[in-house]
Chain A
Amino acid sequence: MISQIGSLALSISGGLILSNFFFLFYYSIRKDKIFLNVSERGLIAVCFCVILATLCLLNELLISNFNLQYVSQYTSYETPLFFKVTALWAGQAGSLLFWTFIMSLYSLIYINVTLKKMPTLKYSSYIILSFIFGFFLLLSNFIANPFQPVSSDIIVQNGNGLNPLLQNVTMAIHPPTLYLGFIGTTILFVMALAGLISKSLNFEWIQSIRRWSLIVWTFLSGGIILGGYWAYNELGWGGYWAWDPVENSSLMPWLILTAFIHSSMIQEKRGMLKSWNILLAASTFLLVILGTFITRSGIVSSVHSFTAENLGPLFLAFLSSLILFTGYWFVKRFDTLKSDNKIDSFTSREGGFLYNNLILLLMCFIVLWGTLFPIFSEAWNGEKIYVGATYFNQLNVPIGLVLLFLMGIGPLLSWKTTSRHTLLSNLKIPMLVSFFSGVIYSIFFGPFQLYPLVTCMGISFTTTSIINEFRKSYKKSKSNSKSIPSAIVSMLFSNRHKNGGYIVHIGITLLFVGFIGRAFEVEKEFNLSPGEEIYFANYIFKLNSIKSEARDNHYAFISDIDVIDQSNNLLTSLRPEKRIYFYWNPDPEKRQPHSELDIYSTMRKDIYSIFSAYDAEKNQGYFKIMINPLVNWVWVGGIVMVIGSLFAFWPSKRRDHGII
């Protein structure tokens, strides 16, 4: 019954979208407000229908209605309640509905908050929103319907169950967070195009789209970092980023959105770069759709496989129509996009943002080129050629380092122009600190490796420069307030936009600290029987025992390894496990082995252990140990980034100053 309601809600929302186009068409002819209002109600109704459908699917998952194909594919009676909820986005049909669900939530806020303030955007926003909704509802209704019943001649006694790899709390948060980021770009696209079409790219518009971009950026950053965290803690290859096409698909919109956040500041303050900003805002969404196309078409081979029904051609058609639409209006409205001001000097804040944009764009190009290269090369000479991590690192690492230094120079530049003298005197301290940190690094952490050394110098350069900025504004606020804490608070809150940005930058420098560690990773694979030990990377690894245990939804072999350091002290005991999920299944093919890692984690280094196989006859375990320095800094950096952008986003009482 509930599933019928859900299915009906999906159909109704599809019908409503169709009728919405008629109302909008009538409005364009008759200019009668009533049609616009009706289409607004129509869109709101669509949103609620989608939300209802999602709740219905959730209900079916929770009560294990295996008459639905989707429910039986991704859950079983044994699936814990929490993961029955996460099964909502575990498969193609569910994730598409979930996509539309989040889009509905965003749209409701956009329609009821943003458009209330900017009614001129309504008409074009409704057209674009209806088109995008139309596409996703088409998929959910006709191509990948989550309410599809199992074929009538079979009875499902128990479902498939959720993949054990996905039965992890991070994996439960990562997809929705990333989705919130991805789908948020829809609003940026709608706003950019609606502003362009209705010629209302005013100050209010830029302020509003900036706020939206900050929310989206926060979710996108959080989602990407969580994905890395999950991969690191669950997948057992000891890394968090592999330049896989699917990962790249999430990085590209992030890079462009980051560029937008910076360049839109120039528009906010100086009324420049309007056309550029429109392109950036629209591109983030286009890149999200491109990424979805890449991941769901199987056109590029990736270790992440999503392809069940081939949605590739549909997404390609959708993407092409969006690009054509954007291109058409961009050309048509190009004359309204003239700058109010000109760049006075390249040693200015706007100049700095320009370099920043250039670099981020380059990085995005490099990632895009590398990701799509198999397609290009195949079209070129019929050979499908892949580029590996070496390509991405060789190009992106040096460019990323330039960006790291630029983050330290940027805050020292003022709007319009900065005299060379002021800039140099401001740069003195950061440069000195950077130099000495380089010297200290070379003395204590030799042998010489270029990138870690430069990264270390860049980190200290940028951090010093930002702390120096904080110190300056602290001095200012201290003259106004009495106690130190109140001075700090008033300093932080005096300009949240700017300070939030600085906090994000500090988060990014922390990420770079983590990246240095990658240059010093070591690993070893070996086998041990209980009682045996092995020496590796200045530690002794001693296997005490391997026990076995039947648990709720799996069977586990549990190892117990003592890690003894150089001074013969017991550092920790690692207990990586080899688990067999679905072990009760008589068919061995259906059983699912899974290596549960154990990581001894400190800020200095992680000792990462994998129990890869167990030989019962010889009572011997096969293990892999990795020493990964500084990994924790990546997660800390990620948290600081998110905190910083939330801080910048939080509404401040004082309205920001107008165009300079």
Chain B
Amino acid sequence: MNKIYTSLILVFALIVMWTVYLTNIKNDDSLTVRYYTIEELSTKQVSIPNVKVGGLIKPNSININEKDQLEVSFYVYQGSDSLKVHYYGIRPDLFKDDAEVIVAGAFDDDLIVATELQTKCASRYEGDLKNIEKI
């Protein structure tokens, strides 16, 4: 009986250790992606194959290719720092100036070539009041 208990606990412990190994020790780009702040990246001069960045879309920076509307470039900013992002593909509906986005992709020389572009899903709609008149 005790043998079975021990082996069960062993299996449990092994899987737990495997989990920790996968996330922490094994350097696998397909499993983990590091989240950078825009400030961190904008001072870096290296190329990183796998980054994740969150920020706001700089107003008037969205530039859609006239020949192919799926191609877009824009700037994300956070405070005073900003980064150029290039993306090809279908854009989320909420993609517009000052929208909060998360981009993931490769970083090289001040440019993020994004493979993933997500706007924050508006599970909640917390907009500013409009149609208001000051008395």
Interface residues of A (CB under 8 A from B): 72-74, 90-92, 150, 153-158, 160, 162-163, 165-166, 235-236, 246, 301, 303-306, 308, 343, 346, 354-355, 358, 361-362, 365-366, 369-370, 373-374, 377, 380, 383-388, 390-391, 394-395, 399, 525, 527, 585, 587, 589-590, 592-595, 610, 612-613, 615, 620, 622, 624
Contacts and interface: CB of A to CB of B under 8 A. Distances in A.
A304 B32 contact: no
Which has the most chain A C-beta neighbours within 10 Å: B1, B102, B129? B129
A336 to B, nearest CB: 23
A388 B34 CA distance: 11
11 contacts: A155-B132, A236-B93, A246-B123, A305-B120, A305-B123, A306-B123, A366-B15, A370-B23, A384-B36, A385-B32, A386-B35
B70 A90 contact: no
A420 to B, nearest CB: 14
Q: Which 6 residue pairs of A and B lie closest in terms of their CB atoms, listed nearest first? A: A163-B125, A384-B35, A612-B90, A305-B120, A304-B123, A303-B121
A383 B96 CA distance: 29
Given A91-B124, A304-B120, A394 B22 contact: yes
B125 A166 contact: yes
A163 B94 CA distance: 11
A370 B24 CA distance: 11
A78 B100 CA distance: 26
A160 B120 contact: no
B22 A525 contact: no
B49 interface: no
Nearest to B125: A163
A365 B11 CA distance: 14
A527 B34 contact: no
B120 A365 contact: no
A163 B123 CA distance: 8
Nearest to A74: B125
Interface in B112-127: 118-127
A388 B31 contact: yes
A370 B4 CA distance: 29
Contacts of B90: 525, 610, 612-613, 622, 624
A386 B134 contact: no
B78 to A, nearest CB: 13
A592 B93 contact: yes
Nearest to A585: B130
B30 A390 contact: yes
Interface residues of B, number: 52
A154 B132 contact: yes
A73 B35 contact: no
A612 B119 CA distance: 15
Nearest to A526: B70
A527 B120 CA distance: 26
Interface string B1-43: 1001000100110011011101110000011111110000000
Contact of A589 (B22, B91, B97): B97
B133 A155 contact: yes
Contacts of B22: 391, 394-395
B12 A362 contact: yes
B122 A388 contact: no
Contacts of B129: 72-73, 150, 154, 156, 160
Nearest to B4: A346
Contacts of B96: 589
Nearest to B97: A589
A523 to B, nearest CB: 10
B34 to A, nearest CB: 5
A647 B33 CA distance: 44
A535 to B, nearest CB: 19
Contacts of A373: 23, 32
B123 A527 contact: no
A417 to B, nearest CB: 12
B127 A73 contact: yes
B18 to A, nearest CB: 8
Interface of B: 1, 4, 8, 11-12, 15-16, 18-20, 22-24, 30-36, 52, 54, 68-70, 89-91, 93-94, 96-98, 100, 102, 118-127, 129-135
B84 to A, nearest CB: 21
Contacts of A163: 122, 124-125
Given A386-B33, A391-B22, A593 B93 contact: yes
A544 B102 CA distance: 36
Which has the most chain B C-beta neighbours within 10 Å: A91, A343, A585, A612? A612
A158 B121 CA distance: 24
Given A594-B93, A610-B90, A395 B19 contact: yes
Contacts of A369: 19-20, 23
A383 B34 contact: yes
A390 B30 CA distance: 7
Contacts of B93: 165, 236, 592-595
Nearest to A378: B35
B131 A91 contact: no
A362 B126 contact: no
B23 A301 contact: no
Contact of A391 (B8, B23, B35, B125): B23
A303 B120 contact: yes
A44 B128 CA distance: 38
B86 to A, nearest CB: 16
A358 B19 contact: no
A362 B33 contact: no
Given A165-B121, A369-B19, A399-B15, 9 more contacts: A92-B126, A154-B129, A156-B131, A362-B12, A362-B16, A366-B15, A369-B23, A387-B32, A394-B31
Contact of B122 (A165, A346, A366, A395): A165
Contacts of A155: 132-133, 135
A460 B120 CA distance: 40
Contacts of A304: 120-121, 123
Contact of B134 (A153, A355, A383, A390): A153
Contacts of A308: 124, 126
A221 B53 CA distance: 33
B100 to A, nearest CB: 7
B69 to A, nearest CB: 5
Contacts of B23: 369-370, 373, 377, 385, 387, 391
Which has the most chain A C-beta neighbours within 10 Å: B18, B22, B134? B22
A72 B91 CA distance: 29
B121 A390 contact: no
Contact of B133 (A157, A365, A592): A157
Contacts of A235: 121
A92 B30 CA distance: 35
A358 B125 contact: no
A525 B70 contact: yes
B34 A385 contact: yes
A498 to B, nearest CB: 26
A527 B69 contact: yes
